[in-house]
Structure formats: C-alpha cells, structure tokens
C-alpha cells in the first residue's frame, strides 16, 4: 500500500470516540499529558474564517527597550484566565471580556526579585480552594486564585527559595524557573533553568514540594552523587562542580501509572566537556520517575556527553498509538535536532528502531567526544540535517557569494561534528528543530510540531589567548562569561535581543553595571559568584578605565584562582580553557538565513506508522513576499494547539500573525495580524458555550518589537 493510500485510509477510519468537550484549559499546554489538544469543536474549518477579536488585554510591564517578552501559555478555569506579564507579574481576568480581576507583583514585597521569563502557571485544588504556583527568579509563589494574595502557610509567607535543598551550595550561582511544574496529587514537581557557560553553574535536580506547606518531599539528582546509579558515567568528583542536567521545559504526567516524564538539559559548559569526560547520565535524558517518590523507573539518553547544547527543548507528549495491531500507551519526545523518539510509556522500549551511529572525534585539547549518538529510523527528521553546498541561499547572487565564502572556511558539516576553532555548522541550530513551544497530538496518534531550519555557527576560542592577558583581568573574565551573548566585539546580538555594550558608558553608570553583575536582570543571569574585584575588573573594561584594578585585589584574585585550581582543578573560573564567540545565527549580509527556504515549517507526523502526513511553511517575511518570494517560513518560537474541531492554531512566526490550519491537510485557512509577535503557545477554552482562542503577544525576540497584549478571538455572536 502506498503512503498516499495509507494516509487516505487513516482519515477514512471512523473517528475515535471523543469525550465531552472540556471548556477549560486548566493545565500548562492543555493537560498533564502535554498534548496541547482541546475537545472543543465549535470552531471548524468551515467557519474559522469568521473569527474576530473578542477582547484584548494590555498587561503592562514593557521595558521600553524592546527586550521584554511574554512566553506564557495561560490557564483558563471556570471563566477566569490566569497569565503573566512581561515583567513577571501574575494576573486574573474575566475570560469572556478581558476585564482584570486582580494582579500580584512580586517586587512589591521586600526581598523578592524578577529575572528571566515565564511560560506558564501550575494549579492545584482540593475542591474548596485553588492555588496557583508560579516563579519569579529563584522564588516559587503560592497564590490564592480567588484573591491574588500569597498563601501564608506555604513556605515563608507564601514563597519558597529554590536555592534551598539543591544538594550542594549554589547560592551565588544563576538559578531561575521559566516553565511551570506539574501537580501530582499533593505534590508540585519542578525543574529550573541554570547557567550553561564556562562560568560555574548550579546543578539541576528535579524536586517535588508539598502543595500545602512548600516542604521539600523528594529530590532526584540528575548529576548523580556517590552511591547513586549513573555516578560511574562521570569523573568521581564531577557532582561537586558540574552544573546543568536541569528540566527547564516542563513535564508530562501519567496520573494512572503515577509516572512523571522529565526531559533534561545538557551539562555545563555546553561546548567543552574535558572536565566531565564520560557518558554524563542523566543529562540529555527522558527520565520516567515514580511521581510519588522520585525513584527512577527508566531513562533514555538522546545525546551522550553533549557538546552541542542539544538539551531536550520541550515537554514530551503522552498519547496512544497502534503498533503491530496493538494499542500502546506511548510517550513521544521531540528534539532540537529535528527528530521524534517514541517509547512505550511503561517500559521505555522504543516503538521504532534506534541506531547508535558513529560520529566524528574531537581534536580540541582535553576533549573526548562520545563515539556514537542515537538516531531513530522512523519517523524521518522534520528538519534538514546537513548544510551542503546545494543548500546555500540563492536569494541573490551577492548573498550566495557571501555565504559561500564563509562556508569555505568552516568544518565540513555532518551531524554531531564536534566544536572547533575553525567554526562548526549547527543545523538545525541551537534553537531547533523543535523548541520550547512543544508539540501537539490528537487522539488519532498524529503529532503536530513546528520547526526552525536555521544554521548557526559554533566557534571555540582559547579563553586566555583571546583575552591576551591573565585570567584575573577584565578582558579574560569578559571572554569567559559575557562573550557568548554579547560577542567578543561587545556588539551584542539583535536577533537574540542582547544589547550592545560598546556604548554602555553612555547609557549606564559604573555602579549600575556593578549591580547588574551582582543581581542579573531580564534574561541576563546573576554573576554573584564573581568576587568584588572581578566584577570591578569587568565593569572597568566596559567603561574603558585604563587604570588597572588595585594590585592587591589583582594579586589576591590570581592567588585565589591558583589555590582553587590546586584544591579542585575542575571548579575554578578560568579553568575551563575555551569560550565561544557567541550564539551566532548564520545570516546573509541582508539579515536573511544563509540556507535556502523553508526557514520554518509546521509538520504533521503519524506516530502509528512513522510517516509524514503533511509539511507546510510557517510564516513569511513581508518584505520578501512583496518582491514575490512567498511562503519562505520564518524562525519561530511557541507551539501549536490542535482541536477536535479539526484545526491547528499557531502563532510563533516573526511576521506577527496567528494562523489556523486544517489538521488533516495542512492547508492554511485563516490568519490574523497581532499587535506583536505571539512567541507563545495559544490556549482555547469556552465561556457560556462560546469557544475562544487566546494568544500572548509579547514579541521581543529575533529583533521584533515587544508587546504586552493578550488577544482572544471568537466567532461572532
């Protein structure tokens, strides 16, 4: 039977019975299975073109510099929508009108701070009261859903500090929570975001808290400590100094089996692992844990000894598929590399064969890349895997020539080519393939996932040689802790909303920079682990202060570094010998991707068979469309949702539209211009029998303007 006939047969099968429509969107990404699926069916392919704006809500919290975002997938429960603002306040509005009911601002309370972004909220109820759980910086807050006030009996006056109970002291290291946890019975299971650079990084254990008291109930160490399974895959002392292995994306939960599925990130430093030689369990893994105890049931590692920042980018999806004539409860995990891995949810057995494929060795001093990496035979990748000459942009002769000249200087591209001094092509790039918006699945076993098809360039530099001076100098420190984002030239990265530091002396005062290095702000992490002398050295560099730091401080800093290296060779700042030149998207001279389109796609994959149903470009560049270059797709952030009504809704693209696609054919049926790009996953819900689709329009990524508006669409009354 041909693939086309099989696809037709699938759609002609009688539809599986659907449950009664659920009016709520009461869990991050729709439900605890992470399906991003709604049983609502008022809006259909036949009437979706009639959608209109039902209400909009200006949340406030813009910074005025186009660097804020809203990545929140809001909750809607019994007619009330709960969301977060660009500056990490939480609010409640009437879900039918957008009228505000209350808001909570953490910085109104002394000692609480706001750093990072927020992707959503968790909730728990005992039938009498409802609590919301959300994080700002390293604080977890329990909020009364009725009043917007903190719950006094939770933690300390309603707040828990994530620095407590980490398993080792990391109080001066960057730590924040971006994605919500998941609730199992009376437990809130949480991950967090930690540092990824050459600077010291916090560990990323998975932890469960009592929803009533905030007490820590269990902790799973993703970097195993002595006596724990997996410890043998690291150097013996690595647990004391290595960070990462964190779940920054969120979870999926099988409540019936009591299994929580945890996608972990890579170990820090992302791009050189000479101080962590080994397989590095349980980083880059899908972990199935007993949700009540934190006991490991099974795991699968997607990247061994990661050197490419290939952390798992999104929560997995729990679904039921048909394999070999049997219905199997499965878990599907998408990856930055553009693959879907599918497992038996209970046992961890792959449902499609997975091969360990030989990959190139590293020639970087001190490094030992793992010799093989896993690849599924099915489904085929949903993003291109190799950047060859034939993939170089032909948008204009000038663009082609410029990209070709750069192409000739880089390492020839194959998947898992290790980082190099010449420059290594990463395709799909550091942001996928799949990204944090997640995939959607429907009851028929179809997975819908958007993809980036952007090449990036990874280049290692010798940290001290690049600085040209000693390890305690401002330039050496900048190279190690700042250059990855701001660049060695300090010009920043407009595509990543990282500001230039070339003119920082015209915008800020020296004490302001010193304070930012201590506390962090927005997406900038804290560098509190630096000594006062080190922070002063970095600030002096940025302000062009030619007078060297106090020689006594310089001497003390160098002596401390030498002493720390002797005591613990892998732990000292400056002991990591390499840094990177930045997170560099490969763009042509006009700012378009260096590769031929499509640059962003939406894909539908049948996980019963492993075959693609359809693939379509997602978004376009208006200026190119005006010149006749249509349907290129764009870089995209935020995920899709799918409905029983037969539609896939997604924003995500840089052209600032929300779109609806026919879930069976992939045909675009409707789109609406938004006040700012919707780099978030939509939600759908019903109030008074009327179905709404809402999206957070926060913009602020890849050079697009920031926004602060939530917009809800519905059919005319």
Tell me if 232 sits within 8 A of 223, measured CB to CB. Answer: no
Give percent of the chain above pLDDT 70. Answer: 91
Look at 584 and 2; give whichever has higher pLDDT: 584
* H/E stretch holding 406: helix 397-407
Token digits of residue 554: 């310089």
Domain with 503, as residue range(s), is 460-581
Alpha carbon distance 82, 201 (integer Å): 32
Residue with tokens 């409707």: 670
Q: Which residues pair with 156 in a beta bridge?
A: 159
Lowest mean pLDDT among 66-70, 313-317, 503-507, 564-568: 564-568
**Residues 568-584 pLDDT 10s:** 433 445 578 999 999 99
Angle subtended by helix axes 532-542 and 474-481, to nearest 10: 90
Strand 206-210's sheet: what is its strand order? Answer: 182-184, 187-190, 206-210, 216-220
3-state SS track over 420-448: ECCCEEECCECCECCCCCCCEECCCCEEE
Question: For 363, left (φ over 0), alpha (ψ -120 to 50), or beta?
Answer: alpha
Residue with tokens 């819900």: 685
Give which of 163, 167, 196 is closest to 177, Cα–Cα.
Answer: 163
Q: What is the pLDDT of residue 546?
A: 54
Q: How many domains does the chain have?
A: 1
User: Residue 477 domain-assigned?
Assistant: yes
Q: Are β-strands 641-643 and 37-38 bridged in parallel, bridged antiparallel, or unpaired? A: parallel
Residues in Cβ contact with 253 at an 8 Å cutoff, skipping those fewer than 6 apart = 32, 33, 182, 184, 189, 259, 260, 261, 291, 318
Highest mean pLDDT among 166-170, 527-531, 693-697: 693-697
Residue with tokens 């082609």: 400
Alpha carbon distance 322, 344 (integer Å): 11
Tell me if 23 sits within 8 A of 687, measured CB to CB. Answer: yes
Q: What is the pLDDT of residue 565?
A: 40
User: Residue 349 domain-assigned?
Assistant: no
Residue 11 has pLDDT above 60, yes or no: no
User: Residue 88 domain-assigned?
Assistant: no
Residue 558 has pLDDT above 90, yes or no: no
Burial of 326 (0-12, 13-18, 19+ CB in 10 A): exposed
Q: Which residues pair with 160 in a beta bridge?
A: 140
Mean pLDDT of 376-394: 98
Lowest mean pLDDT among 9-23, 53-67, 85-99, 410-424: 9-23
User: Residue 469 domain-assigned?
Assistant: yes
**Residues 352-367 pLDDT 10s:** 999 999 999 999 999 9
**Residues 701-711 pLDDT 10s:** 999 999 999 99
For 115, 196, 269, 475, 489, the CA distances from 482, given in Å and listed in that order, are 17, 12, 14, 10, 11
User: Residue 510 domain-assigned?
Assistant: yes
User: Residue 555 domain-assigned?
Assistant: yes
Give which of 66, 86, 63 is closest to 704, Cα–Cα.
Answer: 66
User: Residue 709 domain-assigned?
Assistant: no
Token digits of residue 436: 């944090």
Alpha carbon distance 20, 7 (integer Å): 27
3-state SS track over 519-543: HCEECECCCCCCCHHHHHHHHHHHC
Tell me if 95 sits within 8 A of 687, measured CB to CB. Answer: yes
Cis peptide before 379 (omega within 30 of 0): yes
Q: Which residues pair with 658 in a beta bridge?
A: 672
Q: What is the pLDDT of residue 574?
A: 55
Token digits of residue 555: 């001497």
Mean pLDDT of the chain: 91
Q: What is the pLDDT of residue 8?
A: 44
**Residues 109-142 pLDDT 10s:** 988 887 889 999 999 999 999 999 999 989 999 9
Burial of 503 (0-12, 13-18, 19+ CB in 10 A): exposed
Three-class SS of residue 474?
A: helix
Helices (H) and strands (E) in the chain, counts: 11, 41
Tell me if 630 sits within 8 A of 694, measured CB to CB. Answer: no
Give which of 218, 350, 371 is closest to 307, Cα–Cα.
Answer: 371
User: Residue 488 domain-assigned?
Assistant: yes
Confidence of residue 9 (pLDDT cuts 50, 70, 90): very low
Q: What are phi and psi of 424, to 5 degrees?
A: -115, 135
pTM of structure: 0.92
Q: What is the pLDDT of residue 233?
A: 98
What CATH number is attached to the domain comprising 472?
Answer: 1.10.760.10
**Residues 212-248 pLDDT 10s:** 999 999 999 999 999 999 999 999 999 999 999 999 9
Alpha carbon distance 271, 447 (integer Å): 31
Q: Which residues pair with 699 in a beta bridge?
A: 706
**Residues 602-653 pLDDT 10s:** 999 999 999 999 999 999 999 999 999 999 999 999 999 999 999 999 999 9
Lowest mean pLDDT among 249-253, 519-523, 655-659, 660-664: 519-523
Confidence of residue 481 (pLDDT cuts 50, 70, 90): confident
Mean pLDDT of 332-346: 98
Q: Which residues pair with 358 in a beta bridge?
A: 372
Q: What is the pLDDT of residue 544?
A: 78
Alpha carbon distance 96, 689 (integer Å): 11
Alpha carbon distance 699, 370 (integer Å): 38
- What end-to-end distance do the CA atoms of the chain give, in Å? 46
Lowest mean pLDDT among 403-417, 511-525, 614-628: 511-525
Look at 171 and 311; give whichever has higher pLDDT: 311
Look at 534 and 592; give whichever has higher pLDDT: 592
């Amino acid at each position: 039977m041909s693939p086309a006939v099989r696809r037709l047969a699938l759609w002609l099968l009688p539809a599986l019975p659907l449950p009664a429509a659920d009016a709520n969107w009461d869990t991050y990404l729709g439900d605890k299975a992470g399906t991003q699926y709604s049983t609502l069916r008022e809006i259909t392919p036949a009437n979706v073109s009639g959608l209109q704006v039902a209400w909009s809500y200006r949340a406030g919290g813009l910074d005025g510099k186009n660097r804020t975002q809203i990545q929140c997938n809001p909750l809607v429960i019994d007619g009330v929508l709960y969301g977060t603002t660009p500056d990490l306040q939480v609010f409640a509005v009437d879900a039918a009108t957008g009228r505000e009911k209350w808001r909570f601002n953490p910085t109104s309370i002394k000692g609480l701070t706001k750093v990072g972004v927020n992707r959503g909220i968790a909730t728990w109820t005992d039938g009498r009261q409802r609590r919301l759980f959300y994080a700002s910086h390293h604080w977890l807050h329990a909020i009364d859903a009725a009043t917007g006030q903190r719950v006094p009996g939770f933690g300390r006056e309603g707040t828990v500090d994530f620095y407590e109970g980490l398993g080792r002291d990391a109080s001066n290291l960057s730590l924040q929570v971006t994605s919500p946890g998941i609730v199992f019975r009376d437990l809130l299971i949480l991950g967090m975001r930690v540092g990824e650079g050459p600077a010291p990084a916090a560990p990323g254990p998975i932890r469960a808290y009592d929803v009533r008291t905030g007490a820590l109930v269990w902790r799973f160490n993703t970097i195993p400590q002595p006596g724990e399974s997996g410890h043998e895959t690291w150097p013996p002392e690595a647990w004391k100094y290595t960070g990462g292995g964190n779940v920054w994306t969120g979870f999926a939960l099988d409540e019936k089996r009591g299994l929580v599925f945890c996608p972990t990130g890579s170990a820090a430093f992302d791009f050189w692992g000479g101080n962590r030689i080994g397989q590095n369990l349980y980083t880059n893994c899908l972990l199935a844990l007993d949700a009540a105890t934190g006991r490991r049931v099974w795991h699968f590692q997607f990247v061994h000894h990661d050197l490419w920042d290939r952390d798992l980018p999104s929560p997995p999806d729990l679904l039921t598929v048909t394999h070999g004539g049997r219905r199997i409860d499965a878990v599907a995990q998408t990856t930055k590399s553009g693959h879907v891995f599918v497992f038996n949810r209970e046992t961890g057995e792959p449902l499609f064969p997975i091969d360990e494929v030989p990959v190139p060795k590293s020639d970087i001093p001190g490094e030992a890349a793992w010799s093989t990496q896993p690849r599924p035979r099915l489904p085929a990748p949903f993003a291109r895997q190799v950047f060859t000459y034939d993939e170089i942009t032909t948008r204009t002769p000038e663009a082609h020539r410029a990209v070709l000249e750069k192409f000739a200087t880089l390492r020839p591209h194959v998947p898992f080519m290790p980082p190099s001094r010449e420059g290594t092509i990463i395709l799909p790039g550091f942001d996928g393939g799949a990204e944090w918006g997640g995939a959607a699945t429907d009851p028929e076993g179809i997975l819908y996932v958007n993809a980036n098809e952007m090449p990036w360039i990874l280049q290692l530099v010798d940290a001290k040689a690049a600085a040209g001076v000693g390890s305690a100098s401002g330039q050496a420190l900048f190279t190690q802790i700042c250059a990855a984002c701001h660049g060695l030239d300090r010009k920043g990265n407009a595509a990543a909303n990282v500001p230039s530091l070339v003119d920082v002396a015209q915008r800020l005062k020296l004490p302001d920079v010193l304070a930012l290095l201590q506390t962090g702000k927005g997406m900038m992490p804290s560098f509190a682990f630096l000594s006062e002398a080190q922070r002063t050295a970095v600030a002096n560099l940025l302000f062009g202060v030619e007078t060297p730091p106090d020689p006594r401080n310089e001497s003390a800093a160098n002596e401390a570094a030498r002493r720390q290296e002797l005591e613990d060779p892998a732990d000292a700042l400056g002991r990591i010998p390499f840094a990177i030149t930045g997170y560099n998207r490969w763009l042509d001279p006009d700012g378009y991707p260096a590769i031929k389109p499509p640059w962003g796609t939406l894909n539908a994959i049948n996980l019963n068979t492993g075959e693609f149903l359809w693939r379509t470009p997602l978004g376009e560049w208006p200026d190119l469309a005006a010149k006749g270059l249509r349907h290129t797709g764009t870089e995209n952030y935020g995920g899709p949702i799918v409905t029983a009504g037969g539609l896939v809704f997604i924003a995500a693209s840089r052209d600032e539209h929300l779109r609806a696609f026919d879930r069976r054919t992939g045909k675009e049926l409707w789109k609406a211009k938004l006040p700012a790009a919707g780099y978030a996953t939509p939600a759908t819900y019903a109030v008074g029998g009327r179905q709404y689709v809402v999206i957070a329009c926060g913009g602020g990524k890849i050079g697009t303007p920031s926004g602060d508006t939530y917009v809800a669409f519905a059919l005319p009354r």
